Chains A and B, each alone.
Chain A
Amino acid sequence: MSFLRSADVGYRRFLMTDRILDIQNLKTYFHTQEGVIRAVDGVYLSVRRRKALGIVGESGCGKSITSLSVLQVIPSPGRIVDGRVLFYPEAESDRPVDLAQLKRHGRELRRIRGKDISLVFQEPMVALSPVYTVGNQIIEALRLHEPHSKRRARELAVEMLDKVGIPNPDVMVDRYTFELSGGMRQRALIAMALVCGPKLLIADEPTTAIDVTIQAQILDLIRSLQTDMDMSVMLITHDLGVIAEMVDDIVVMYLGKVVESGSLHDIFDRASHPYTVALQRSIPRFQRRGQPLEVIRGNVPDPYTRPQGCEFAERCPKAMNRCFQDKPAMAEVGDRHSAKCFLFTDEVESAPGREANVR
């Protein structure tokens, strides 16, 4: 019996490789006076250990809020209302920590923030405090989690600044953010996120605010640090070009839901969901030569109401009658490749209870 069980675990691991983060049916809502904004509305995704997952989607589809929900650092009045954020610090065979169940201001979650899971925020120009030096903020991050002396912490901070490619790190450590360029701030932010050697790095559009040459440097930097430090990465961007160079897996989000997920090649070469296809056609880099650039028609519906049927139906070139009535279930379209569309399934999305989440 025990033999069977261990064989079973081994088999499962072989099947789905080791995951470090597994988000199930995550719902993060903003309860405002005007109504409820369902910023994240039942997201499923997982990050494989030492791999990079990319999250893509139009502006406002809930990428940032998904990433902020992992560490429960959601701007008010946002709140996680349902779902699980399972974190496997060492191996998937361990018991996971459900981050969504921890208290937002509690000690347990604080121990994970910045230590096991780090966040590089979307806007480098404002993500560091203007009234403390770069060093002060990095040293704070370090000493919150590791008992270094001030001097040692400073040395480590300088080392980290050097590692992310900031010139004269021993001078820059005493600089304020307003004395740094956008690229340097982004590097400083990354240095701060990496200083405790996190197992998972969540980078939210780490390159939008900076110019193209530096973009490439920063991406290279994240990639090389990923291998050096044995890190898993969750990378958020609406730039499919960035994704192509950085990630192993992709999830495509639309209106707070994942509409397609798969490996880089699945999504790029065998995009299944009409939204993914449209998204690719709207980006110059992925255009075959001579083909005109397309704009995804229609607009994102207003945030307070959700259509009865498929969220994308209104804008979908392949919409069928039933798309306006029912919501499709996530359907397998290949090995580890699935899409949420009636083109591939007849099943209707079930409101998942707790049972359905347990695998």
Chain B
Amino acid sequence: MASYIVRRVLMMIPLLVLVSGVIFIVIQLPPGDYVSRHVARLEMEGVVTHEAEIEALKRRYGLDRPVHEQYLLWVRAMLRGDFGYSFAVRRPVLSVVAERLPYSIIISVATLLFSWVVAFLVGTYTATRQYSPGDYIASFLGFLGLATPNFMLALILMWIMYSVFGFTVGGLFSPEYQDAPWTMGRVLDLLKHLIIPVIVVGTAGTAGSIRILRANLLDELNKPYVITAEAKGVPPFRRLCKYPLRVALIPFTSTVGWELPNIVSGETITAVVLSLPTVGPMLLRALVDQDMFLAGSLILFLSLLTLVGTLVSDLLLAWLDPRIRYDR
């Protein structure tokens, strides 16, 4: 197991290099370099720029060097924590991202956990009670969840919360906690505001996961090894958990990797509707504005999230399935 983990973590290095390379190319894609574009924009706004200033900027970003050196400079700067400058917001990228990324991560992870717990419980229930009324109801709700667009679900839930509970949804904090220091009250307030985004963002994925788990578990339930376990006297619940469920979870687990970026991109529309301070809307705006340092960094962070997601799912898989960890 240890050697598998080491190998798996080492494998992330070439992946990171590849991803950063692609992102660098994306940053370079718009015509002209970004300093010239920045200058052009400033001039359009009527700001007077000095030749020396422009040269300094260009030198700072190594724009006078060959492309591969620019890439290395860019990587080196990032390793030092300098992610460049957002020309649209006029602040260093890092500080802009730092405001929003944590909330994105919180929503993503909370959504993933919600989605897992619900899918696990409902999937197991529907598979073990195939064709029961509960199975039909869950399947119906599941398909409904798959088919309803996120923004609509968000609007419906907002309306329900407001008209039934008198609770205004929107943002991640109530006004009184908006700029307050972190206290227990603020955490609870955050959790309360998380419920709706998590349900909205998670529903489609959860419905999908339920179908996957149900189908896998149904496949496993009648496998000979399960009957063997029953024939040697293993009690029903323990048998379910130890034998078919564990195997059924294997394909389920391998979905985490791509579930994370799905959640982040699925979150964008929801975040706009619910005015959540997450990276989704920011990435959208950065791309529209051609604010390439910001966009590039955001994509980089999201890629990193994906890589970490796949790492976690691979480690979980190896733990669940010895065939993977012994495969050399």
Given known A141-B232, A179-B326, contact A121–B243 (CB-CB < 8 A): no
B233 in contact (CB, < 8 A): yes
With A131-B246, A178-B323, A179-B326 known as contacts, the answer to whether A145 contacts B225 (CB < 8 A) is no
Please name all residues of chain B whose beta carbon is closer than 8 Å to the beta carbon of A145 when the two chains form the complex: 233
Determine whether the beta carbon of B247 is less than 8 Å from that of A118. Answer: no
A110 adjacent to B321 (CB under 8 Å)? no
**Chain A contacts for B229, CB-based, 8 A:** 129
Chain B residues with CB under 8 Å of A132's CB are 242
Q: Which of B221, B242, B323 contacts A130 (CB 8 A)?
A: B323
Q: Which residues of B contact A193 (CB under 8 A)?
A: 232
Tell which of B224, B231, B321, B322 touches A113, judged by Cβ atoms closer than 8 Å. Answer: B231
Chain A: minimal CB distance from B111 (Å): 28
Q: A121-B227, A131-B247 are in contact. Are A111 and B233 (CB under 8 A)?
A: yes
Residues of A within 8 A of B233 (CB): 110-115, 141, 144-145
Give chain A residues whose Cβ lies under 8 Å from the Cβ of B321: 130-131
Q: Which of A72-118 contact B (CB under 8 A)?
A: 73, 75-76, 105, 110-115, 118
A68 to B227, CA, bound (A): 9
Asked if B69 is at the interface of the complex by the 8 Å CB criterion, the answer is: no
**Does A127 touch B at the CB level, under 8 Å?**
yes
Main secondary structure on chain B at its contact with chain A?
A: helix
In the bound assembly, the distance between CA atoms of A179 and B221 in angstroms comes to 24
Closest to A122 in B: B224
> Are A121 and B234 within 8 A (Cβ)?
no
A140 at interface by CB-CB < 8 Å: yes
The answer to whether B326 touches A129, judged by C-beta atoms less than 8 angstroms apart, is no
Asked whether A268 is an interface residue with its Cβ less than 8 Å from the other chain, the reply is: no
In the complex, which residues of chain A have a beta carbon less than 8 angstroms from the beta carbon of B242? 132
Query: A131-B246, A178-B323 are contacts. A75–B227 as well, Cβ < 8 Å?
Result: yes
| B235: A residues at CB distance < 8 A | 110
Please tell me if A9 contacts chain B, counting CB pairs below 8 Å.
no
- Per-residue contact bits, chain A 118-146, to B (CB 8 Å; 1 contact, 0 not): 11011100111111110000001100110
B residues contacting the other copy or chain, number (CB 8 A): 24
B228 within 8 A of A: yes
* B234 / chain A contacts, CB cutoff of 8 Å: 110, 140, 144
Per the 8 Å Cβ criterion, residues 313-328 of B in contact with A are 320-323, 326
Bound together, the chains give a CA A205 to CA B247 distance in angstroms of: 26
- A248 CA / B202 CA spacing, docked (Å): 63
Contacting residue for B232 out of A123, A126, A131, A144, CB 8 A: A144
Tell whether B82 is near chain A: CB-to-CB under 8 Å.
no
CA A105 to CA B229, docked complex, whole Å: 13
Q: Interface readout for A246-269 with B: 1 if CB under 8 Å, 0 if not? A: 000000000000000000000000
A119 touches B326 (CB 8 A): no
A271 within 8 A of B: no
Q: Which residues of B contact A121 (CB under 8 A)?
A: 224, 227-228, 231
A39 contacts the other chain (CB 8 A) = no
In the complex, chain B residues 229-257 whose Cβ is within 8 Å of any chain A Cβ? 229-236, 242-243, 246-247
CA distance A144 to B230 in the complex (A): 12
- Quick check: is B3 within 8 A (CB to CB) of the other chain? no
Structural contact, A71 and B225, CB atoms closer than 8 A: no
> Is B223 on the interface with A (CB-CB < 8 A)?
yes
Please list 8 pairs of residues, one from A and one from B, whose beta carbons are closer than 8 Å in the complex, sorted by A's number: A110-B233, A110-B234, A123-B224, A130-B225, A130-B321, A130-B322, A131-B323, A176-B322
Q: What 7 pairs between A and B have smallest CB-CB spacing? A: A114-B232, A113-B233, A114-B233, A119-B231, A141-B232, A129-B225, A110-B233
Contacts A112-B233, A113-B231, A118-B231 known; list 7 others, CB within 8 Å.
A68-B231, A113-B233, A127-B227, A140-B234, A178-B323, A178-B326, A192-B228
Which residues does B use to contact A, with CB under 8 Å?
A: 221-225, 227-236, 242-243, 246-247, 320-323, 326
Binding site for B on A (CB under 8 A): 68, 71, 73, 75-76, 105, 110-115, 118-119, 121-123, 126-133, 140-141, 144-145, 176, 178-179, 189, 192-193
